[in-house]
Amino acid sequence: MPVLASHRKPRSTRQHSPAVGVTTAALASVTLLSAQSAGAAPAAPAKPTVEEIQKKVDDLYRQAGTATQEYNRVKEATDQQRRKVDRILDDVARRTDAINESRRTLGSYAAAQYRAGAVGPTAALIFADSPQSYFDQTHLMSRLSERQRGAVEDYETKRAAAAKQRAEATRSLESLTASQTALRTSKQTVQRKLAEARTLLARLTAEEKARLAELERRREAEARRKAEERAEAEAAEAAAEAERRRQEEARRQQRPGAPATTPPRTGGGSTSPYAAEAAKALAFARGQIGKPYVWGATGPSSYDCSGLTQAAWKEAGVDLPRTTWDQVEAGTRVATDDLLPGDLVFFYDDISHVGLYIGGGKMIHAPKPGANVREESIYSMPIHGSVRPA
């Protein structure tokens, strides 16, 4: 049977070259764009806003305040260590003089022994004026030997004590050197933070400086508003207390023979012992208004924050520690709502600033470098806590 021919059309092989061309062109375009992107200069970082600059400057001043307290702490420790070293060195000098005196005594005994030892006992007896004089001289030399032993023991005791003091002096000098190194480091940290803040402010344009000043005015206005509210609340509380006392006195007068009421002698009453001491501290602080803030200063021509509060309360007979970190522990903690004139108000989480409360939501404080001692709202900074120092 003959084979039938196939009528199917042969499979056609379609050409895909146009699609390949498109893909190649697309890849070429992507490569070109990538090359152009790689060659382009990186975008300049965005310039910080005035608000960001203000926050940065505030943070630098706060860090400088913290570094100032560290400087104060190390300086106080350095001064104490220096005084200790001076006392030890004075003691070493006195002990050295005592050793030299003991050495001279031993020398005289040694010379006497040498002279006595030049003649033997038999010869000494023979050449003595009489047997009695020999025995007298022998007795004297015996007593001299006892004194010699005592002198040697005294010399050894003094020499050991002097060696111990010299070793302590060496350790104290090493500690003093370490404290001085830490003091220099703290000083450099303060200076660096302040320099960074000054650099940021110096780069501001006139328009930015005006904007920054406006932000400061708004912040101060808000702090004043809060202080005024606090002052009104304190005035209302004082008026209520006065009315309570008036009514109590009126009731007393209606009862013949009743004892007269007396104001309380504790707390913040105007006649309380604390109020009298606080008045002295506040009077001193007011006398310092207008003097410049200088970090590490304790007066009389300039102050840092804790230097001012320390000097003010010293005027009232109360010795406060040097740093804010120690002052916050030097008294009774009080709530912000219970503040009385004379109380210490501390700021920031790291307790790097302090002011002296004067009432009405205000304080006297030494603010920061470039500013003078002044009255200001306690709400101008975040409050950490408060202490009544007496």
Question: Are residues 308 and 365 in contact, defined by beta-carbon separation less than 8 angstroms?
Answer: yes
Q: In the structure encoding, which two tokens stand for residue 119, read together?
A: 């003649």
d(CA 366, CA 94): 46
What value does the mean pLDDT of the chain take? 80
d(CA 287, CA 369): 19
User: Bigger pLDDT: 5 or 326?
Assistant: 326
* pTM of model > 0.75: no
Question: Are residues 366 and 303 in contact, defined by beta-carbon separation less than 8 angstroms?
Answer: yes
d(CA 220, CA 13): 85
d(CA 283, CA 267): 19
User: Residue 368: pLDDT band by 50, 70, 90 thresholds?
Assistant: very high
d(CA 60, CA 64): 6
User: Bigger pLDDT: 77 or 159?
Assistant: 77
pLDDT confidence of residue 13: 43
Question: Residue 45: helix, strand or coil by DSSP?
Answer: coil
Candidate ranges 72-76, 108-112, 316-320; pick with highest mean pLDDT? 316-320
* Residue 353 annotated in active site: yes
pLDDT confidence of residue 15: 45
d(CA 36, CA 191): 46
Helices (H) and strands (E) in the chain, counts: 8, 6
Sheet with strand 374-377: strands edge to edge: 332-334, 383-388, 344-347, 353-359, 362-365, 374-377
d(CA 325, CA 352): 8
Question: Residue 278: helix, strand or coil by DSSP?
Answer: helix
pLDDT confidence of residue 106: 64
Closest CA to 346 of 359, 360, 369, 329: 329
- Residue 303 in this model has a pLDDT that exceeds 50: yes
Type of residue found at 44: A
Mean pLDDT for 283-307 is: 96
Q: Burial code of 65-103, b = ≥16 C-beta within 10 A, e = fewer?
A: bbbbbbbbbbbebbeebeeebeebeebbeebeebbeebe
Residues 174-190: tens digit of each pLDDT: 877 887 888 888 889 98
- Residue 23 in this model has a pLDDT that exceeds 50: no
Mean pLDDT for 255-264 is: 57
Q: Phi and psi (nearest 5°) for 333? A: -70, 140
Type of residue found at 310: Q
> Angle between the 131-202 and 50-117 helix axes, to the nearest 10 degrees?
170
Three-point CA angle 347, 323, 65, nearest 5°: 50
Percent of the chain with pLDDT over 90: 39
Which ranges of 40-130 would DSSP assign to H, the alpha helix? 50-117, 121-127
| 262 class by beta-carbon count within 10 Å (0-12 exposed, 13-18 middle, 19+ buried) | exposed
User: Bigger pLDDT: 48 or 205?
Assistant: 205
pLDDT confidence of residue 331: 93
Question: Are residues 327 and 310 in contact, defined by beta-carbon separation less than 8 angstroms?
Answer: yes
In sequence order, the 6+-apart residues with CB closer than 8 A to the CB of 217 are: none
The CB density around residue 305, as the number of other CB atoms within 10 Å, is 27
Q: In the structure encoding, which two tokens stand for residue 341, read together?
A: 């004139």
The active-site residue, picked from 7, 16, 139, 365, is: 365
Question: Are residues 72 and 296 in contact, defined by beta-carbon separation less than 8 angstroms?
Answer: yes
Mean pLDDT for 189-211 is: 90
Question: Are residues 194 and 369 in contact, defined by beta-carbon separation less than 8 angstroms?
Answer: yes
d(CA 68, CA 305): 10
Residues 43-83: tens digit of each pLDDT: 556 778 888 888 888 898 899 899 899 999 888 888 888 88
Percent of the chain with pLDDT over 70: 72
- Residue 314 in this model has a pLDDT that exceeds 90: yes
Q: In the structure encoding, which two tokens stand for residue 46, read together?
A: 């965005």
Element (H, E) at 148: helix 131-202
Mean pLDDT for 304-327 is: 97
Type of residue found at 187: K
Question: Are residues 316 and 310 in contact, defined by beta-carbon separation less than 8 angstroms?
Answer: no
- Residue 17 in this model has a pLDDT that exceeds 50: no
* Residue 365 annotated in active site: yes
d(CA 317, CA 281): 9
User: Residue 22: pLDDT band by 50, 70, 90 thresholds?
Assistant: very low
